[in-house]
Structure 1
Amino acid sequence: MRRLDLLIFPDFQILDAAGPIAAFEIAERFRPGAYELHVVAAEPGPVRSSSGAMMLAEPLSEAAADTLVVSGGDGTRQAIGEARLLDWLVRASGRARRTASVCSGAYLLAQAGLLDGLRATTHWSRSADFARRYPKVRLEPDRIFTREGKVWTSAGITAGIDLALALIADDLGEDVARRVAQQLVVYHRRPGGQSQFSALLEMGGQGGRFAGLIDWMRERISEPLTIERLAGQAGMSARNFARAFAAETGVTPAKAVERLRLEVARERVEASAEPIDVLARAAGFGDPERMRRAFVRAFGQPPQALRRAARA
């Protein structure tokens, strides 16, 4: 029986907690006795989420948990200032086999010093602030989730389900994780290295007016994708297209093209031994130096460093 403690606090994001809880609950059905779930908080009893819905929590426990999961939400802004909670988090993490965070729960781990020198991720919208606050953390802002040693971190909200599925696979095997994903009706599984940006772009374009165009862009990622060409494909003037695309997807066409290229290039950099100049052309960057600069801007590291880390 693996004890799993999930930490919540006032104004936590309810899906950051409920998503992983549902995944572990279903895994327990497939493997009875696998998990013992405990929701804990500094102030036990009903804890109000940011939506107003309540979740019942037990007091902070000194019992050793196999896995400690910290939820996220707006309440992290206040929680990082609570010394008692941070002290408990350090002790609890020291006892646990694994420590994980969902979304902005990474702030609590970082504030407690548990992410110093480690790779980590958080919700894309908080990445710039997180990087300023915690320069000792090797932030990877574009990851769905990261794992370094015993510490796991994930991006926002639904990425907590991806994290939970990865933890379940680590415990019980891929077959159980796949069955859990089927019950949840989610992908099994988005890999940790998938781009948060890609998911965001798909949410903005999927089912919308530019869904077909985004697919068209991916299929021609090695070709020149100027705004004029994209606008022509969409049957719009360049000016109207730029405005409409940004309103629909949340990013400019040029940024969308670059990030789609980064997604393609990163996957091939990490998964293959192809020369960097070949990958740069295949992803549409044209030359390795241009791709290197884009990698540093997006991921904080050049392609060669990401390849070495993936192999390690």
Structure 2
Amino acid sequence: MWFRFLAFPLALLAGLAVAAVLAVALVVALAYPNLPSLQALTEYQPKIPLRIYSAEGVLIGEFGEERRSVVSIEEVPDALKHAILAAEDERFYEHPGIDYVGVLRAAYANLVAGGRRQGASTITMQVARNFFLSSEKTATRKLYEVLLAFKIEHSLTKDQILELYVNQIYLGQRAYGFAAAAQIYFGKSLEQLSLAETAMLAGLPKAPSMYNPVANLQRSRQRQHYVLRRMSELGHITAAQYEDAVKAPLRPRREANEYAIHGEYAAEMVRQAMAERYPDEVYARGFRVYTTLRKADQEAAYVALRRGVLEY
């Protein structure tokens, strides 16, 4: 008797489930062929600024909309890889582009919190969004983001995807990619970063304008502590390393355009000459120009000129 009462609701639920699956399959079948080509990823050609150096190779000027230094995945220290994954996508090397475990965890956290508090975008989804999609929050854009993530995972290796992410992600102060951010915020290359500095940079993708240390050092420290805690929980660092990094002072550069040599006038002369010769490419092709300026001579001339002006 009771089975007859349950039969209809169960059949209705089953029918709705089948209809939902068919609807999703139809949408995917229609949308997938319209996905953009992955040529922008497979033939990655980022904008790299014009850089001008002294005779010894010291940077004296940089010009371009996007400040970026491209690095291969082999040049990325393990500590930075671990920090990025701990902060953004701990199951990156395990999931197929969509982290179903992360989706369920985020849904539960949001339900408990009574509102949207936690996202579940993977690194692959972020790559799809950064290269191909706008930042608008619509169901259509999210669908394309998911489909693109699957397409990217099918076409590229995990290391290739992570390399694209490391070089393309915006990290504040016009820095695109972690190598540029390391130089802008700390005046260092990736391999020179301390664990504390590494964790700080890894915390930037969530909200670069909010968490960068130039804008708000306190918030930057809070985010850094979260990244370090996640690294410790995932076994990437020891308890002692965690404690040392949390206590380590952060000394970010207050000015993003600090240079070791006062050669602004020379850098501007070179910029003008390059702009005349390569008007369409000068700020994006990655030109490197080496001048005849020498650091010791230039600094001596700068000090003498400044003293003379002040005494006059």
* TM-score computed with the length of structure 2 as normaliser: 0.26
Higher relative contact order (CA 8 A, sep 6+): 2
Structure with the larger strand share:
1
Structure with the larger helix share:
2
